[in-house]
Amino acid sequence: MIEIKNLNRYYQVGKERFYAIRDISLSIKKGEFVLFHGVSGSGKTTLLSIIAGVDRPSSGMISVNNELISKLPDQHLSRFRNREIGIIFQHYNLLESLTVYDNVSAPLIPERLSLKEIDKRVKKSLKIANISHKANSIASTLSGGEKQRCAIARALVTDASIIVCDEPTANLDRANIDIFLDILKKLHKLNKTIIVSTHDPIFQKLDYIDQIIHLEDGVLVS
Amino acid sequence: MNSLLLNTDIAIFLLGEFILWVVLLIAFGVNLYLLKKWDFHSYTNLQYRIEKLAYLIMVIIIFSFLMKFILLPYFVFTMDKISDIVPGAMCSAGVISFNAYGMKLFFIKMAILLLLMIWLMINHYDIEAKVYPWFRAKSWLFVFIFILITIELYWDYAFFADIDIHKVLNCCSTLYGLLEGVNPLPFGLDKREIIILFYMIYAMIISSTFGKQNYILLIGLILFIPIGYYSVLYFFGTYIYEMPNHNCPFCMLQKDYYYIGYPLWGSFFGGVFLGITAILAEERLKKDSKRLKYLMVLSFTIFVTICTFFVLHYYYKNGVFLEPVKVEMVM
Ligand SMILES: Nc1ncnc2c1ncn2[C@@H]1O[C@H](COP(=O)(O)OP(=O)(O)OP(=O)(O)O)[C@@H](O)[C@H]1O
Ligand SMILES: [Mg+2]
C-alpha cells in the first residue's frame, strides 16, 4: 500500500526553484500493476526514486506499507529499501566483475541468513527471472537482456513486496521485451506491487494494468 | 602570562577543549533553532530540512562526545605530567588540590561524562523509534550539557592559569596519609568490614542485574561509589603500592605502577555510569537495556578483578597480607 499526498520535489537552480514533481497525490494498493507514463523530463524517475526511498521529497507525505519513509532516519531508510523494495534501474547497476549469482545474493548480506537459506532464495529468484543458466557467468559478459534479468533476480531475492522498474524496455530488442513482459506477468501473479516508469507505448496495450498515471512537467494529468 | 599555560601538554589539552567547545557551540545554536521549529507531524519543506539538520547535528554531537571521553584521561595524564614541574607534588593529588578549581573540575568532568552517556542512550532509542519520541528531551539535555561544558572550559583555563610553579605543594601522603591512625575509614568502618562490604555490594549489583531488580541495583550503585572508592584508597591501593600507609588515588596512574589507575578507575566509574544509564533507560524510557547492563557487569568485573589481583599477587609473593604500620608521627 502506497499513499502519497501533496508531494513535491524541487531542485534549487540558482535563485529559482525547479519543480521536478509538483503536488502529486495518489494511492497504489497492494498487488497493483501501475504505469508512470510521460515524456522525457516529466518527473517519472523522480517520483519512482522517492517511492523507492532512494530520494526524499521536498515536502508532502508519502507512506509505503504504513511506514512514513520520507521521515525515516537514514539507517532505517536503507533497511526499509533493502527489505521492501526491489529496484530495477535503467542501466541495471550490476557489479560488473562479479558473477550473476554473487550479484543476486548481495542484498541478502545484511540479513544474516544461513548459506543454505541464501542459496535457496538466490536459486528461486534466478528461476523466476529466467536466468538460472547464467548463474556462474561474470556480469560484464552478459547481453543487455540478460543483464536486465540478472537485475530482476536481484530485485526479487529479498522477497520485496514492491518492484519498481525505471525505463525497463529502453535498451531491449523486441524478443527481450517479450521475455521481460512475461516475467512481469509472473510477478504480478505472485501478488507483487509493480510500478513501471516508461514512455514506451507497448505497456498501454497490456490487459493486466491496474492504473496508468500520466505525468506532464511534474504534474499529474488524468 | 603564566608559564604553565605555555607547557605543551596543557596547551594541547586546552586547545583541544576549546576547539571542541566551538564545534559544540555551533551545534548548540542549531539545536536551539531545531527546538523552536520542530514539529514532527508536519510535512512541510521546513520540517524536512530540520529533520536533515537534526541528523547532521546528531552526528556532530556524537563525534564531540567521543572526543570528550578521550580528553578526560588526557586531562589526568597532563596533571600527572605537570606534577614533575610543580615543586612538592609527587603526583596529580598535589596538582588537583593546588587551588579551588581542581576538585570542582574533577566533579564537573564526571557529571558531564555521565550526562553524555545518558544523552547517547536517549539518542540511540530516539533514532531507533523512527518517530523521534525523545527529540525534545535529548535536545534540552544537550542544552544543559553545553552549559556545563562551557563552565568546564572556563574552569579548565582558570585551574591551569592559577597554578604557580614557585609555590611548594602538598603531596598525597600529606593529603590522605596523615589521616592514618585517627580513623581514616568512612562510616566508622574498619578495614575488614569495608572489604566484606565491597564484595557484598559487587555481588548485590550482579544479582540484581540478572534478577532485574532495578531499585536494588540503584542502591547497590549508590553504595558502591563510596565503598569502592574508599576500598581502593585504604586497602587495595596499598597492595598496588605495596606500602601499607600509602593511600592515594592518583599515584597509581603513573608509569611506576604500570598506569594501572586508568583501567582501575576507568572500569569503576564506567560501571557506575553504565548502570545509572541502563536504569534510566528501563525506568524512564521503558526500554530493555540488556546490552548496557552487560557492559556494566563487565566493567565492574574488570574493576573487582584488578583490585583482587593485587592482593592475591602480594600474598603469593610474600606469603602474608599487608599490615598497616601504626604511625604516630608522619615524616
Ligand atoms: N539533480 C537535479 N538537479 C536539477 N534538476 C534535476 C535533477 N534531477 C532531475 N532534474 C530535473 O527534473 C526533471 C524530471 O526529471 P526525471 O528524471 O524525473 O524525468 P523522467 O520523466 O524520468 O525523464 P526520462 O524519461 O528522460 O528519464 C527534469 O527536467 C530534470 O532535468
Ligand atoms: Mg527517467
B153 plus B294 within the same structural domain: no
What is the radius of gyration, based on Cα positions, of chain B? 22
Instruction: Point out the least confidently predicted range of A69-83, B70-84, B163-177.
Output: B163-177
- Taking CB atoms and an 8 Å cutoff, what residues of chain A touch B48? 56-59, 70
Q: Which of B128, B161, B194 is the last residue before a domain boundary?
A: B161
The count of structural domains within chain B is 2
* A73·B130 Cβ contact <8 A: yes
Q: Which of B129, B161, B193 is the last residue before a domain boundary?
A: B161
- Sheet of A59-64: strand order equals A16-28, A2-13, A59-64
**Which residues of chain B from 127 to 156 reach within 8 Å of chain A, CB to CB?**
127, 130-131
- Going by pLDDT thresholds of 50, 70 and 90, the confidence category of residue B173 is low
What is the radius of gyration, based on Cα positions, of chain A? 17
* A58·B127 Cβ contact <8 A: no
B295 plus B263 within the same structural domain: yes
How is residue B329 annotated by DSSP? S
Contact (CB, 8 A) for A157 and A125: yes
pLDDT of residue B330: 45
| Beta strands at A162-166 and A193-198: parallel, antiparallel or unpaired | parallel
Contact (CB, 8 A) for A135 and A117: no
pLDDT of residue B331: 45
Element housing B294 (H / E): helix B290-318
- CATH entry 3.40.50.300 includes domain A28-58+71-220: yes
Q: Which of B161, B189, B221 is the last residue before a domain boundary?
A: B161
Mean predicted confidence (pLDDT) in B47-74: 92
Mean predicted confidence (pLDDT) in B80-108: 83
Share of chain B above pLDDT 90, in %: 65
Between B147 and B327, the higher pLDDT residue: B147
Q: Is residue B331 part of a domain?
A: no
Comparing C-alpha atoms, which of B159, B126, B166, B163 is closest to residue B142?
A: B126
B8 plus B153 within the same structural domain: yes
CA of A29 from ligand 2 middle (Å) equals: 23
Mean predicted confidence (pLDDT) in A155-159: 93
Q: Is residue B50 part of a domain?
A: yes
Counted across chains A and B, CB pairs separated by less than 8 A come out at 28
Mean pLDDT of chain A: 93
With cell 614541574, the residue in question is B85
Three-class secondary structure assignment of A124-181: HHHHHCCCHHHCCCEHHHCCHHHHHHHHHHHHHCCCCCEEEEECCCCCCCHHHHHHHH
Gap between the Cα atoms of B171 and B246, Å rounded: 11
Q: Is residue B110 part of a domain?
A: yes
B12 plus B155 within the same structural domain: yes
Provide the 10 A C-beta neighbour count for residue A178. Answer: 12
Gap between the Cα atoms of B179 and B196, Å rounded: 22
Residue A71 class from Cβ within 10 Å (0-12 exposed, 13-18 middle, 19+ buried)? Answer: buried
Q: Is residue B72 part of a domain?
A: yes
Taking the CA of residue A87 and the nearest CA in chain B, the distance in Å comes to 23
Q: Which of A197-201, B72-76, B152-156 has the highest mean pLDDT?
A: B152-156
pLDDT of residue B170: 67
DSSP B212-270: T-HHHHHHHHHHHHHHHHHHIIIIIHHHHHT-TT---SSGGGSGGGTTTHHHHHHHHHH
Instruction: State the Cα torsion B249-B251-B253-B258 to the nearest 10°.
Output: -130
CA of A21 from ligand 1 middle (Å) equals: 9
**What ligand is nearest to the CA atom of residue A9?**
1
What is the domain range of residue B71? 3-161
B184 plus B251 within the same structural domain: yes
Q: Is residue B324 part of a domain?
A: no
Q: Is residue B329 part of a domain?
A: no
Gap between the Cα atoms of A168 and B265, Å rounded: 62
Residue whose CB lies within 8 A of the most ligand 1 atoms, among A10, A19, A24, A44, for a mutation test: A44
> Above 90 in pLDDT, residue A29?
yes
Q: Is residue B326 part of a domain?
A: no
pLDDT of residue B8: 86
Q: Is residue B325 part of a domain?
A: no
Cell numbers describing residue B292? 548496557
Residue B27 phi, psi (nearest 5): -60, -35
Nearest-CA residue for atom 10 of ligand 1? A20
**What ligand is nearest to the CA atom of residue A46?**
1
Mean predicted confidence (pLDDT) in A137-141: 95
